[in-house]
A and B are shown apart, each in its own frame.
Chain A
Amino acid sequence: MDPTIAFILLTDGLAGSALYLIIGLGLVLIFSVTRVIFVPFGSIAVFAALSLGAMELGRLPAAIPLIGLFVLLALFMECLRMRRQHSWRQWPRVLGVWGVLPLLPCALAAWASYQSAELVKVAAAVLLAVPLGPLIERVALRPIAHSSVLALLIVALVLDQVLSGLGLLWFGPEGLRTSAALEGSLTLSSGLAINYQTLLTMAVAFGLALVFYVVLQRTRIGKVLHATASNPTGARLVGIRPAFTATIAHLIAALLAGIVGVLISPVATIYYDSGLILTLKAFVAAIIGGMSSYPLTALGALLVGVSESFASFWNSGLKDAIVFGLLIPILVIRSGLAPHHEEEEEGDA
């Protein structure tokens, strides 16, 4: 390996790290607020990517029927809840929150499909992903919010299978790429060049990480999320509704997923089932952060992205094995550092 190749692999790895960082942030956020390892994260990102691809071809993105399906399910469940609680007076709010709001991005996407500006389509694709997070949470996760972490994980895994199945049904089996937001590359010296798209990905990830830090530390909503994450019972005592924070967490995570989708689709071919492997690799990064620390997750994302890039050069067939193999030493070290931490929390819950 000569320095040129090493440099190319490093930039590729950093671009990958940036994506894993964004996904990792979303995973940690959702896990710390709701104790769910949100496996369908990658699938939501994939839907944003495939929607953007469909819009570029001038077609209506298939995420619209998908959202429609979840809206119907959510409304149905809300009706059941209102019947159980005899709170039919809430129906205008329920209809607004679960019926109208999620359909707004769909309307935007339907309009954007016939616009020529790429930026409009990118924005529409990102926003299209946003309602999916809260809808999935309402339909599948809220009814079992008090189950064990393991049960929640299994439900999340099944959810991912369901979503990728729906993806195959509505988006079709063919993979696609979208056109790059930024064409061209920055030439450093002969043979050394970085694509603008790569730089953009890194910049967005870095910016998001900063925003995340500021929002969680300084704003009210950040403090609410933080409070729920560190002590759910205490948070409820001071008047924070867990269902509300869960919805907010899923909303933010789905927004992140949408951003990942439009960042990854110009550099990699996306299929309806590409989401799971993305989530799993970001999961390794999140594990390095102990599913709770954002800075450590960032470090983990860096490790995963760069080692994946170099591993694929040395042995392409084994690259996934190498990345997931990282988990073993990490888990050994982590459990050595913080013994039996997880089990105690389980016992409390």
Chain B
Amino acid sequence: MFEQINRRCVLRFVRSALAVGVIGAGAAAQAADIKVGVILPLSGPIAAQGMSTVKGIKAGMQYQDSVNGHKLSMMQLDDASNPSLSTRNARKLISQDNVDVLIGTGGVPGALAIATVAREDKTPLVSFTPINLSGEAAEWAKTTTQSGDVMVSAVVDEMKRNGVKTVGYIGFSDAWGDAAYAALQKHAADAGIKVVANERYARADNSVAAQVLKVMAAKPDAVLGGGAGTPGALPYIGLHERGYKGALYGTHAILSPEFVHLVGKAGEGLIVPTGPALVGDQLADSNASKAIVEQYRKAYKAANGEEPYDVFSAYAFDAWLVVANAAKQVPSNIEPGTPAYRTALRDAINKTQKLAATEGVITFKPDDAYGVGKDSVVIVKLQKGQWMLQK
């Protein structure tokens, strides 16, 4: 009996394999696929972000899956939130699968690792993670996020508009905390705002009572939190517990549904910079991103059967958008799968001009990885557990 089943299975397998082969051959005769290699952290510590970004990519495919008669086909690999695996996967996708462009990955170390591979193997990379690259290093690597500097600068502008004179800072005692603090110092000095306290805590700490006391002793008009994700909620909870009355500011690094849940009442009135995607339905009709955000939401729902719940998927969607938009500009006589195509695609990506994406209007320059400017940043305020757009 088992043999019978086996034989039937084998037959069915052979038949379907033949069918796939025939269809595949047919497609090849029309036009070669543009192969997009996608590397995401689908397991490991930042798997939550990976799960969100994979949905964003799927929404991208739903929105646009062919360019100039070429089908956009995706090959996806998991890097387990591990930069050395990101590197290995990038090399594998380039050498074995002959991809034309890479998208990935969550986490800055992994994305930087892929950027190095992209440059060495001359394959363009579009990331959705803040990679601080400029000059030659940025030639093959672009990202759809705003830089931390742009975001902090937008927050400082908002502080100035609200009449803040002194600001205290409580941030991570790591690279992100340092970067946010450096940006705060630079832009606050320009805006005439005094930074009166600089306190740090470790990501794994479960109480920041002491840092909060020290910041409150300096009596700042406002406090900027330089954390990320749920650990970023601690300073606001601590300030709330101690009855701090000043204004609360944050960076885009804390925008996750888990953060909103964790911070609860303590986060009421928290002001944060973000791209337009988070508050798509509140945008004015004149906003350049309004239309594409609607398209993105529709595509996301069609592809995943649910509403988008955080901003990571929007950044990933934008990466797909950049690739599709650039592929459109590549001359039709260059065939995908060749080094000439990859170079042409890179040039097209680097020439991206005023592309309206969900997180802002993207204009790339060859020597800078970032393409979203400060004019696309919107300011949102947390009110009763909802992010509300500030005009």
Interface size of A as a range: 20 to 34
For residue A317, CB closer than 8 A to chain B, the reply is yes
Cβ contact within 8 Å between A317 and B210: no
Minimum CB–CB distance from B47 to chain A (whole Å) comes to 7
Q: A173-B45, A195-B241 are in contact. Are A316 and B258 (CB under 8 A)?
A: no
| Contact (Cβ within 8 A) A274 B45 | no
Instruction: Give A317 to B210 CA distance when docked, in angstroms.
Output: 11
CB <8 Å contact, B217 and A317: no
Chain A residues 59-87 with CB under 8 Å of chain B are none
- Residue of A whose beta carbon sits closest to that of B217: A5
**Contact of A176 with B206 at beta-carbon distance under 8 Å, contacts A316-B200, A316-B211 already known:** no
Q: Contact at B206–A174, with CB atoms within 8 Å?
A: no
B residues less than 8 Å from A176 (CB atoms): 230, 258, 261-262
Q: Which residues of A contact B173 (CB under 8 A)?
A: 316-317
CA A208 – CA B264 in complex, angstroms?
A: 31
What mask results when residues 156 to 184 of chain A are scored 1 for a CB within 8 Å of chain B, else 0?
00000000000000001111110000000
Check A313 against B206 for contact (C-beta < 8 Å).
Answer: no
A contact residues around B229 at 8 Å (CB):
174
> Across the interface, which residues of B come within 8 angstroms of A274, CB to CB?
204, 206
Chain A residues in 8 Å Cβ range of B45: 173
On whether the beta carbons of A9 and B258 are closer than 8 Å, the reply is no
* Residue among A173, A195, A270 facing the most chain B CB atoms (10 A cut-off): A173
CB-defined contacts of A144 to chain B, threshold 8 Å? none
| Min distance, Cβ B316 to any Cβ of chain A, angstroms | 19
Tell me whether A269 is interfacial, beta carbon within 8 Å. yes
How many Å from the CB of A230 to the closest CB on chain B? 37
| Contact assessment for A316 and B233 in the assembled complex, using a CB-CB cutoff below 8 Å | no
A309/B230 contact (C-beta < 8 A), A269-B262, A271-B204, A316-B199 known: no
User: Do B210 and A172 have beta carbons less than 8 Å apart?
Assistant: no
Supposing A174-B48, A175-B231 touch, asked if A9 and B262 sit within 8 A by C-beta, the answer is no
Does A267 lie at the interface of the complex (its beta carbon under 8 Å from any beta carbon of B)? yes
Q: Find B213's partner among A8, A174, A195, A268 (CB 8 Å cutoff).
A: A8
Interface residues of A in 297-323 (CB under 8 A from B): 309, 312-313, 316-317
Q: Quick check: is B201 within 8 A (CB to CB) of the other chain?
A: yes
In the complex the two chains form, what is the Cα distance from A313 to B207 in whole Å? 11
A309 to B264, alpha carbons, bound, how many Å? Answer: 25
- The size of the chain B interface, using a CB distance under 8 A, is 32
Interface centre among B173, B210, B214, B217 (most CB of A within 10 A): B210
Contact assessment for A5 and B213 in the assembled complex, using a CB-CB cutoff below 8 Å: yes
Q: Output the least CB separation between B339 and chain A (Å).
A: 40
Q: Is B90 an interface residue (CB 8 A)?
A: no
Q: Which of A246-291 contact B (CB under 8 A)?
A: 267-271, 273-274, 277
Q: Name the residue of chain A whose CB is nearest to the CB of B241.
A: A195
Assess the A174–B230 pair: CB atoms within 8 A. yes
CB distance from A174 to the nearest CB of B (A): 5
Let me know if A12 is at the binding interface, CB within 8 A. yes
Which residue on chain B has the smallest CB distance to residue A317? B173
Contact between B213 and A317 (Cβ–Cβ < 8 Å)? no
Min CB–CB distance B258 → chain A (angstroms) = 5
Residue among B45, B46, B258 with max Cβ neighbours from chain A (10 Å): B258
Contact A172 B233 (CB under 8 A): no
Contact between A269 and B233 (Cβ–Cβ < 8 Å)? yes
B101 within 8 A of A: no
- Contact assessment for B262 and A8 in the assembled complex, using a CB-CB cutoff below 8 Å: no
- Contact at B209–A317, with CB atoms within 8 Å? no
17 A-B contacts (beta carbon < 8 Å) = A12-B207, A57-B261, A174-B48, A175-B231, A175-B262, A176-B262, A177-B237, A269-B231, A269-B233, A269-B262, A270-B206, A271-B204, A271-B206, A277-B204, A309-B210, A313-B214, A316-B210
Task: Known pairs A5-B213, A309-B209, A316-B173; list 13 more (Cβ under 8 Å).
Answer: A9-B209, A173-B45, A173-B47, A174-B48, A174-B229, A174-B230, A175-B206, A176-B262, A271-B204, A271-B206, A316-B200, A316-B205, A316-B211
- Nearest first, the 5 closest Cβ-Cβ pairs linking A and B are A268-B206, A313-B210, A312-B210, A174-B258, A175-B230
